[in-house]
Structure 1
Amino acid sequence: MEKNDIILTYGSDPVAMTRALLEAIDIESLIPDKNTSIALKPNLVVAVTADSGATTHPAIVKEILSHLREKGYSRIKIVESAWVGDSTKEGFRVNGYEAISKTFEVPLVDVKDDEYRKLTSNGITMEISKTILDTDFLINLPVLKGHCQTAMTCALKNMKGCLSDRSKRMFHTLGLHKPIAALNAIRCADLVIVDSLNGDLDFEEGGNPVETDRMFATRDSVLCDSFGAQLLGFELEDIPYIQLAEKMGVGSTDLTRARFIQLNEPANNNEARPSGEVAYLAKHTLPKNACSACYGNLIHALKRLDEVDRLGNLETQICIGQGYKGEADPNKIGVGVCTKGLGKSLTGCPPKAIDMIQFIKDL
């Protein structure tokens, strides 16, 4: 498998599709030493199952582990961290990773409990999982889906789960895009296998899955996300971290030089696109460096209110994010502990969506 290859397969059976990709990849050509340490990095941003459109299908993980074991690799770990405010261990539990760990004798590493190393890239110092940094070969297993702050998330942003929670918060303070690129300049995946079976095309935390029935693999995380952006109908300029990562030497955005290897034909050619719902709901917010968990809960709360025609009663925008720390304005309304100095504020880090719904109803 060459660096510029993008291998695609279509269908609805993650086991058969993963097997087809692995056979085409020829993992032994990429990892000739059977003593190589390998880490699988799925997306378990929240503790929900894959049918929600938010998390990596565990069947993909199982098939990769089965394949690696068959080929004689034994030094394998599964490494992940949920977003700030959620439990990685609960994500492992609800998706059956404890049984996967036992069956394949593969340890589960919760990055929240890991040791970290402080490294600096492009002027940004961050705490990165020691397990990830010590891994010889990293297989990134992102879900191609929408994101309420960065429009899209796939390979490059999925690496954010390799950070301490403190660094995740800092990334939001810095606006996400440059830090995501800088992280990948320190450590990016050696192989990316993308779960694009039914990702939520609007929300990172899922809830609105869209069946796109495809998976694809590549060795270049920048090329991967450039292709993912194209699939979702975005221009590269819509997702700044992709081009920033290219400038930092992580990979290439040039899809004209990619070699597309299609293993089978899609059942239909309908192109799924984000609905634009997030942009509509976001008009009711005033975010300043908001963390994903907090902002995601607010968007979710606004969505629920919109479904029962209650947003028309909202006469002011809701402030949210670390940028409001220390601000005291009696005329503003906010959610999250960072907005506690405002006239009305719902505290919590992050507040629950259900509490946000009631808070907004009471305004």
Structure 2
Amino acid sequence: MKKEDIIITYGSDATSMTRALLQSIDIEGLLPDKHASIALKPNLVVAVTADSGATTHPEIVVSIIEFLQEKGYHSISIVESAWVGDSTKDGFRVNGYNQISKKYNVPLVDVKGDSYEKKTVDGITMEVSQTILNTDFLISLPVLKGHCQTAMTCALKNMKGCLSDRSKRLFHSLGLHRPIAALNVVRAADLIIVDSLNGDLDFEEGGNPVETNRMFACRDSVLCDSFGASLLGFELRDVPYIEMAEHLGAGTTDLEKANVIQLNEPSDEPVVRPTGRANYLGRYTEPDSACSACYGNLIHALKRLEEVDRLKNVKRNICIGQGYKGVKDPSKAGVGICTKGLGKSLPGCPPKAIDMIKFIKELNAD
């Protein structure tokens, strides 16, 4: 797997999707030393289960451990720290990590109880987990989701769980963006496998999950977050730490040079209708057998339009889904390749949220 590769797979079975990504990566080419230490860094920011849209699906962790052990890697640990005020141990317990640890003989490392080493980058001194600094190969397992302070969180921000609570507080006092960029110069993940199955619409702690049924893998955390931002409907300027990290040499934001490898087509299973805030946004849509990857991107696009007070300008609902295949209707507009017979249609399977935003803006400017 090359630095510019972004490998994406669609579906609803996290176990098989994870294995498909791993098989396409050539892990032995990236890590030829079978005795190397490997740390898995999930997102367990709060003690809630993955269906909330906040935390990494444990099936992903299990699938990676099984795959690595089959390949002869046995120095594996799971390393994480919940946000300030919450218990990592509760997060481990709620998500079944204690049983995973026992079954596969993989230790759990709570960064809150780890030793730290001070590192300084860009004038910011932070306390970073010794376990993370000393590990040979770090696999980050972030959830792609919204965030109330930084707009989104994915690979770059997931590294914040490698800090002491004191440094986490410092990061917040400095506005998060510059410190997050600096942290990824100190230590960035060697491989990122993104849980983008049902990340929350707005908040790091979950509560408004949006089903998108996809996962993707990257080696460049900056490129990973640039791609993730486009899926959620954000411009790079909306998430300042991404370009800051690029300027510090942590990676590239150049998606035009990225090699996007799609392992399969989005699942044809109809999307599970969202609840709460996402359900409210759904009133601007006309779904008919819509795939979750496509519909989820549309929900994120509508949310971005709402944030800039442009949702009120939407004059007609957006059609989406396989039910529009073969439908010829010049009066309707839709997103996704299934709606190509409508009067106006945005191609893609699925289109990114950022492209949907541009399409809807142009549609309502007519």
Indicate the residue corresponding to 2:66 in structure 1. 66
Cross-structure match for 1:254:
254
Question: 1:272 Cα deviation (Å)?
Answer: 3.8
d(CA) in 2 for partners of 1:125 and 1:222?
Answer: 21
**Pairing of 1:197-276 with structure 2 (within 5 A):** 197-267=197-267, 268=291, 269-270=294-295, 271-274=297-300, 275=303
> How far 1:138 moved relative to its partner?
0.2
Give the 5 Å matches for 1:69-148. Answer: 69-148=69-148
1:26 deviates by 1.2
The 1:156/1:278 distance shift into structure 2, 3 A limit, reads farther
Take 1:171 and 1:266, find their aligned partners in 2: how far apart are those partners?
A: 38
Work out the CA distance in 2 between the residues paired with 1:127 and 1:152: 24
CA contact (8 A) 2:43 2:80 kept: yes
Measured after TM superposition, the shift of residue 277 of structure 1 is 11
Q: CA deviation at 1:279?
A: 5.7
Deviations 1:213-271, CA, capped at 9 Å, x for gaps: 00000000000000000000000000000000000000000000000110000133332
Deviations 1:43-82 (A, max 9, x none): 0000000000000000000000000000000111100000
The residue identity in structure 2 corresponding to 1:58 is P
Match of 2:257, as an amino acid? R
> Percent identity among equivalent residues?
74
- Distance in 2, matches of 1:254 and 1:130, equals 32
Q: Counterpart amino acid of 1:235?
A: E
TM-score by length of 1: 0.76
Aligned to 2:168: 168
In the alignment, the residues of structure 2 paired with residue 279 and residue 44 of structure 1 have an alpha-carbon distance, to the nearest angstrom, of 27
Q: Is residue 78–residue 109 contact of structure 2 (8 Å, CA) maintained in 1? A: yes
Aligned to 1:321: none
- Deviating beyond 4 angstroms after TM superposition, the runs of 4 or more aligned structure 1 residues are 276-280
Shift of 1:278: 10
CA distance, structure 2, for counterparts of residue 151 and residue 96 of structure 1: 29
Native 8 Å contact 1:148 1:278 kept in 2? no
Partner SS state of residue 249, structure 1: coil
Q: What is the match of residue 36 of structure 1?
A: 36
Cα distance in structure 2, aligned partners of 1:273 and 1:259: 26
- Residues paired across the two proteins, number: 280
**TM score, norm. by length of structure 2:** 0.75
Q: For 2:306 and 2:104, locate their aligned partners in 1 and report how far apart those are by CA, in whole Å.
A: 40
| Partner secondary structure for residue 140 of structure 1 | strand
Equivalent residues of 1:192, 1:217 under 8 A apart: yes
Which residue matches 2:321? none
- Contact kept in structure 2, 1:55 and 1:143, CA below 8 Å: yes
* Code of the aligned partner of 1:243: E
Residue of structure 2 in register with 1:151 after alignment: 151
Alpha-carbon distance between aligned partners in 2 of 1:226 and 1:21, rounded to the nearest angstrom:
19
Deviation at 1:276, TM superposition (A): 5.6
1:75-134 CA distances to partner (integer Å, 9 max, x unpaired)? 111000000000000000000000000011000000000000001011100000000000
Secondary structure at the counterpart of residue 212 of structure 2: coil
Local SS of the residue matching 2:62: helix
Gaps of 5+ in 1: 281-363
Q: Secondary structure at the match of 1:12?
A: coil
In 1, Cα distance between equivalents of 2:127 and 2:98: 26
SS of structure 2 residue aligned to 1:32: coil
Structure 2 counterpart of 1:143, one-letter code: V
Letter in 1 for 2:202: D
For 2:51, the aligned partner's letter is D
CA distance in 2, matches of 1:64, 1:98: 16
